[in-house]
Amino acid sequence: MKIKSFITGSKSLVVLLILVLATTRKTQAQTYTLRQVLDSIETRNPGLQQFALKTAASFAQADAAKAWMAPSVGVGLSEFPYGGGKDMGGGGMARKMVMLRLEQMFPNFGQQNKQRDYYQSLRLQDQDDSATMKNMLFAEAKMAYYDALVAEKKLAVVDQQQKQVQLLIQISEGRLPYGKASLPEIYKARAKLSDLQSMRVQLEAASEQAVAILNSLMNRSQQAPLQIDTAEDFAHSEIAILQVDSSYILENRSDIHRASDEIHSLRLNKKVVSSESRPTFGINLDNMRMNSGGYMYSAMAMVSVPIAPWFSKGYKSKAKAIDYQIQATRKMQAGQVQEAIGVIQKDWLKLQAAQKDVQIFQQEVIPAYSKAYQSYLNAFSENTGDIYETLMAWDELTMKKMQYWDKISDLLNIRVMLETEMQKD
């Protein structure tokens, strides 16, 4: 008996400890608003941190553009004259010399400045890429946040509907000894409790999956507890698109604005190519030691001739190719702008329809089913109705409440797509 009492007490202690730990973990979960989630992603997500490094790389390339060409050094033999005759006339003989040559070409400083400007302009494209990636990460975070929110709201419905069916079972079991309730109907009501329990497991799993996505986006541990703010009302806030036109798209859509920055960089690159038409200068120094021990030197200035047709054809063709690239980028951007305006208009119309649908469900459908269920429940409580009809009304009300949150989920998903197209945080 003592052993049995000890085991029973140990089991009770373990259960109590598990409950305390579960409660402590739940209370330690930090509540995040959607704004806090997005701010955390912006500062902690490693994917966004890459663009600062890419910008640093562009500036390092800009510094490299100011470098000079490497000098050339050569060592060799020189003989004057050479060939069959060694007599130079006047009794002089051919001279053999060891020659050291140093050559340095000077940079085209104008071209270097243009190269520097070109590489530094790439930072604008990095900023566009960063804003585009942030927009996509925010969209993913909003989807996950709304999924968790809807799951929590559905869990609240499960709790509410569970209490109602438990009340029906309690009343029926009290009437069973008096023959005013049937056992099959009670079993059916208990089956509804099992259905709710199954639904609870699925909803809790959906909520945990959404939290896992949020933790990943915020670069937090997957085991870190996180509680969303269920008090926020996102479904009924309005989005104005009256100002959305081509100017708005070009200014706010970073993926489309990137084309403008690409054109800017292409124009700078064209200046770099065009600067190849300017000559470059250099110097050549030769120092020679003769067999007799004397020295001789030679100094020569050099200049390139870029107007030579076999060379000028290259930079002229490159400049023409860049012009074609600029024209193609403009056409691509114009197409993207028109497509974005069409998608925004379509999503806005879908959002308006979804909001009206939710409003009808909230103001008409749910209240009607609630009144029907309440009528059957009152009749059942007064012993003038049966549990079957009441259970059917409860089932329909439960389904409509779940359907309502499905519609809220669809509305929020449309909202996310619209905000993503408009690039609104």
Q: What does the pLDDT look like over 321-344, one tens digit per residue?
A: 999 999 999 999 999 999 999 999
What predicted TM-score, i.e. pTM, was given to this entire model?
0.82
Amino acid identity, position 402: M
What pLDDT does 81 receive? 67
Query: Coil, strand, or helix at residue 93?
Result: strand
Tell me the pLDDT tens digit for each residue of 29-74: 688 999 999 999 999 999 999 999 999 998 898 888 888 888 899 8
The percentage of residues in the chain with a pLDDT greater than 90, rounded to a whole number, is 54
pLDDT at 7 over 60: no
Question: Between the CA atoms of 347, 348, 349 and 350, what dihedral angle is there, to the nearest 10 degrees?
Answer: 50
Average of per-residue pLDDT values in the chain: 86
Domain ranges within the chain, ordered by starting residue: 24-85+110-279+309-422
62-89 mean pLDDT: 76
Tell me the pLDDT tens digit for each residue of 227-261: 998 888 777 777 766 678 889 899 999 999 999 99
Buried b (16+ CB within 10 A) or exposed e, 216-234: ebbebeeeeebebeeeeee
Can you list the pairs that 230-236 forms with residues at least 24 positions away whose Cβ atoms lie under 8 Å?
230/149, 230/152, 230/153, 232/33, 232/34, 232/149, 234/34, 234/146, 234/149, 234/412, 234/415, 235/355, 235/358, 235/408, 235/411, 235/412, 235/415, 236/355
Using left for φ > 0, alpha for ψ between -120 and 50, and beta otherwise, residue 179 falls in: left
Classified by CATH at the fold level, domain 24-85+110-279+309-422 comes out as Outer membrane efflux proteins (OEP) (1.20.1600)
Tell me the pLDDT tens digit for each residue of 390-423: 899 999 999 999 999 999 999 999 999 999 999 9
What pLDDT does 25 receive? 43
pLDDT at 2 over 50: no
What pLDDT does 184 receive? 84
Burial (CB count <10 Å: 0-12, 13-18, 19+), residue 101: middle
Q: How would residue 9 be classed by pLDDT, with cut points 50, 70 and 90?
A: very low
Residue with token string 């029973």:
8
What pLDDT does 387 receive? 84
